[in-house]
Chain A
């Protein structure tokens, strides 16, 4: 099997993976990072969103081989010890979820989105979350959480989504 190296949430990993392994499978099955969810498995729902070199991507539509050498950040990599990332805290505070299945992907998409666009407004958040589906909330609290999380991130000095690992 081919070998790849990934830096996952700051930790270097050398892994033997089959060529047809998807990045999400390596994260969930090999590294047991099950916070990254598989929803549709057809690159529509965004539940599998992670950061590859600081950019959001749907890990069900990336071969692990394609990510060879990259820095990967998953939802598990956002929290600093017991302290939630400002975007996680904003989702908690605004209850930007119901069942929670889409939440890791939403938060990873949101962190990358507002890292790129500190001055984002509501329309920008809605356009920027087009790659993430939530079937519970109607998005209202998610959008409120992302706007608040953006403010918290920038006042806390999380100036870019690329900083997270």
Chain B
């Protein structure tokens, strides 16, 4: 298949990456490349320049500061899944990371790359929105509620680079996923958490505008954190993705089932 020619740079710091981006006029950043390279093979993206973020110091890290777990944007999914700190403090996040794609993809793909791409069926958007994380870029900090902005769209400005993502450590959390058996993308995935920001429920793979919070469930779980509390709460089928893999009603049903399972597992 091959990829059409492009200019390639591998800057050593964020400022140089930004400069290269602005100088090009038609650049894309490449993190793990597990989405961008297949997309370039299909000619769905044909940037004139690729700016590889792989050599920038400090973007691959997992640190703990008090009640906050911070993950560098270039941290691979496999590193998040295996990290003793993540497994101890937010096991739901380690569990989610271990369900992304397959081992080879998890060894290359990065949290920052996944978030910047904001695929409506990707797992990490559910983690960031469902855990109430904050995305820190080279110029500002963006709350999860302000970050996701529709299909494959975020509030990142042109050229802006994700540096780290910080997660408040929840009291309880769990992620339940119904994976597409071939692609391993979430047909639906639901992250439920209870912590300093109250109860949060975020669903991925389901909504026509990408990841979303299920606020009715959050309110009910805020009163009683039990699967039975959300038994009758439904999301509108007409707002769900409908494709050859599942109609909207099927995905709407899955949101409810997976949310109840996630609450039950979070209580264990």
Show the binding face of A for B, using Cβ within 8 Å.
2, 18-20, 22, 41-44, 46, 49, 52, 55-58, 61-63, 65-66, 68, 109, 112-113, 116, 128, 130-132
Query: What residue of chain B has the Cβ atom nearest to residue A112's Cβ?
Result: B103
Residues of A contacting B4 with CB < 8 Å? 20
Q: Is B153's CB within 8 Å of the partner chain A?
A: no
Show the binding face of B for A, using Cβ within 8 Å.
1-8, 10, 30, 33-34, 37-38, 41, 50, 52, 54, 78, 82, 101-105, 107-108, 182, 184
Assembly CA distance A132 to B52 (angstroms): 27
Assembly CA distance A128 to B4 (angstroms): 33
Residues of B contacting A44 with CB < 8 Å? 182
Assembly CA distance A44 to B34 (angstroms): 11
Assembly CA distance A58 to B37 (angstroms): 11
Residues of A contacting B41 with CB < 8 Å? 41-42
Does the CB pair A131–B101 fall under 8 Å? yes
Does the CB pair B108–A61 fall under 8 Å? yes
Q: Determine chain B's interface SS by DSSP, over half rule.
A: mixed
Residues of A contacting B107 with CB < 8 Å? 52, 55-57
Does the CB pair B38–A109 fall under 8 Å? no
Does the CB pair A58–B50 fall under 8 Å? no
Task: Report if A65-B8 is in contact (Cβ < 8 Å); known contacts: A20-B2, A43-B38.
Answer: yes
Does the CB pair B103–A68 fall under 8 Å? no
Cross-interface CB contact of A18 among B5, B34, B103, B182, cutoff 8 Å: B5
Residues of B contacting A22 with CB < 8 Å? 2-3, 37
Assembly CA distance A109 to B7 (angstroms): 32
Does the CB pair B105–A58 fall under 8 Å? yes
Assembly CA distance A113 to B82 (angstroms): 13
Does the CB pair B105–A43 fall under 8 Å? yes
Does the CB pair A20–B3 fall under 8 Å? yes
Q: What are 15 A-to-B residue pairs whose CB atoms are below 8 Å?
A: A2-B8, A19-B6, A19-B8, A22-B3, A22-B37, A42-B41, A43-B38, A57-B107, A58-B108, A61-B34, A62-B33, A63-B33, A116-B82, A130-B103, A131-B104
B14 shortest CB reach to chain A, Å: 18
Assembly CA distance A44 to B37 (angstroms): 13
Task: Report if A61-B37 is in contact (Cβ < 8 Å); known contacts: A19-B5, A20-B3, A20-B6.
Answer: yes
Residues of B contacting A18 with CB < 8 Å? 5
| Contacts beyond the supplied A42-B38, A43-B38, A65-B10: 11 A-B pairs with Cβ under 8 Å | A2-B8, A19-B8, A19-B50, A20-B6, A22-B37, A55-B78, A55-B107, A56-B107, A61-B34, A63-B30, A65-B8
